[in-house]
């Protein structure tokens, strides 16, 4: 029997486990789970959901760095977002990468190092995240969803000054920092989310709604994205793909809003749940340019 909502967590015994979250009645948000059934084995191969139940002390990223071969991300993948920042819709998916160290957990702080504090233009981006479940090479759009293990919600943090102005158009330079791709709170099985193109997605900053959209506004849906990215390039089990952000980002607001030290960012996706991360500015370290 496949998992429903796969979580990785530290239990009250201090040990780290992978488990299938036991949700309280009336919720689909794994962030609210306090217990999970322990999973043993390879989640990309043979595994067993045991009857052993552990308390959840702290939720971690559903996948560890060692389980993720690559972190791929799409830019400009929502029609209204392209409109708000006054750029044309792309003809093909716009792809970039983040380092594994960018991956963070659903409740981890978002560290803003001194280098990223220059010009103070750190932005939030709520995103649907795909987790690939098996090798995918040259797959068709019709078959693409069969390669999905499940879905998370994530935040593609972006330092716009480095991304656009100082970096010479090198998107990765403004998105590379440690902890700048928190994701979770669980990997929700593709057997639960059978249609990823009709999910509400949103961001709150300090309780105020800043983004509120539906994945139906994506220019390149999940199936098309997987098919395109697999052409001539093998997607591996554990690869994560952030699928772009909807309208409402700080850069597109009037006036623009940049994340500040102490801001609390809540990113939510229907049927998946919420990640809650606090922005923490690095102190007393000089940036070396």
Is residue 144 located within the same domain as residue 236?
yes
Residue 288 lies in a domain: no
Residue 287 lies in a domain: no
How many domains, in total, are found in the chain?
A: 2
Is residue 143 located within the same domain as residue 43?
no
Is residue 267 located within the same domain as residue 179?
yes
pLDDT value at residue 1: 75
Residue 286 lies in a domain: no
Residue 93 lies in a domain: yes
pLDDT value at residue 89: 93
Per-residue pLDDT of the chain (289 residues; tens, 9 = 90+): 799 999 999 999 999 999 999 999 999 999 999 999 999 999 999 999 999 999 999 999 999 999 999 999 999 999 999 898 888 999 999 999 999 999 999 999 999 999 999 899 999 999 999 999 999 999 999 999 999 999 999 999 999 999 888 876 667 789 999 999 999 999 999 999 999 999 999 999 999 999 999 999 999 999 999 999 999 999 999 999 999 999 999 999 999 999 999 999 999 999 999 999 999 999 976 655 5
Residue 157 lies in a domain: yes
Is residue 258 located within the same domain as residue 131?
yes
Residue 107 lies in a domain: yes
**Full-model pTM:** 0.96
Is residue 88 located within the same domain as residue 117?
yes
Is residue 204 located within the same domain as residue 238?
yes
Is residue 24 located within the same domain as residue 100?
no
CATH code of the domain containing 118: 3.90.850.10
| Three-class secondary structure assignment of the chain | CCCCEEEEEECCCCCEEEEEEECCCCCCCHHHCCEEEEEEECCCCCEEEEEEEEECCEEECCCCHHHCCCEEEEECCEHHHHHHCCCCCCCCCEEEEECHHHEECCCCCEEECHHHHCCCCEECCEEEEEEECCCECCCCCCCHHHHEEEEEEEECCEEHHHHHHHCCCCHHHHCCCCCCEEEEEEEEECCCCCCCCCCEEEEEECCEEEEEEEHHHECCCHHHHHHHHCCCCCECCCCEEECCCCCCCHHHCCCCCCCCCCCEEEEEECCCEEEEEEEEECCCCCCCC
Residue 289 lies in a domain: no
pLDDT value at residue 165: 85
Is residue 10 located within the same domain as residue 131?
no
Residue 117 lies in a domain: yes
Domain extent for 121: 65-281
Domain boundary among 30, 60, 90: 60
Is residue 71 located within the same domain as residue 166?
yes
Is residue 38 located within the same domain as residue 69?
no
Is residue 107 located within the same domain as residue 182?
yes
Is residue 52 located within the same domain as residue 90?
no
């Amino acid at each position: 029997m496949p998992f429903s909502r796969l979580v990785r967590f530290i239990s009250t015994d201090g040990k780290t486990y992978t488990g299938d979250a036991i949700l309280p009645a009336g919720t689909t948000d794994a962030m609210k789970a306090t217990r999970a059934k322990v999973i043993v084995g390879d989640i990309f191969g043979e595994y067993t959901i045991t009857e052993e139940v552990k308390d959840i002390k702290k939720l971690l990223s559903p996948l560890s760095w060692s389980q993720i071969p690559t972190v791929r991300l799409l830019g400009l993948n929502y029609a209204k977002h392209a409109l708000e920042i006054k750029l044309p819709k792309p003809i093909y998916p716009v792809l970039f990468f983040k380092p594994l160290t960018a991956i963070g957990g659903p409740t981890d702080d978002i560290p803003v190092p001194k280098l990223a504090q220059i010009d103070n233009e750190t932005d939030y981006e709520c995103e649907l995240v795909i987790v690939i479940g098996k090798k995918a090479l040259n797959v068709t759009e019709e078959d693409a969803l069969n390669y999905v293990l499940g879905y998370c919600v994530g935040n593609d943090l972006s330092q716009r000054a480095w991304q656009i102005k100082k970096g010479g158009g090198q998107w990765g330079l403004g998105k590379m920092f440690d902890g700048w791709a928190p994701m979770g709170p669980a990997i929700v099985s593709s057997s639960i989310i059978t249609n990823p193109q009709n999910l509400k997605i949103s961001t709150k900053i300090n309780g105020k709604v800043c983004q509120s959209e539906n994945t139906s506004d994506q220019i390149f849906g999940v199936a098309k994205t997987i098919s395109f990215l697999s052409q001539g390039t093998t997607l591996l089990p554990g690869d994560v793909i952030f699928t772009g952000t909807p309208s409402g980002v700080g850069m597109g607001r009037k006036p623009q809003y940049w994340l500040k030290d102490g801001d609390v960012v809540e990113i939510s996706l229907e049927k998946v749940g919420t990640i809650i991360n606090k922005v923490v500015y690095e102190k007393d370290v000089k940036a070396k340019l």
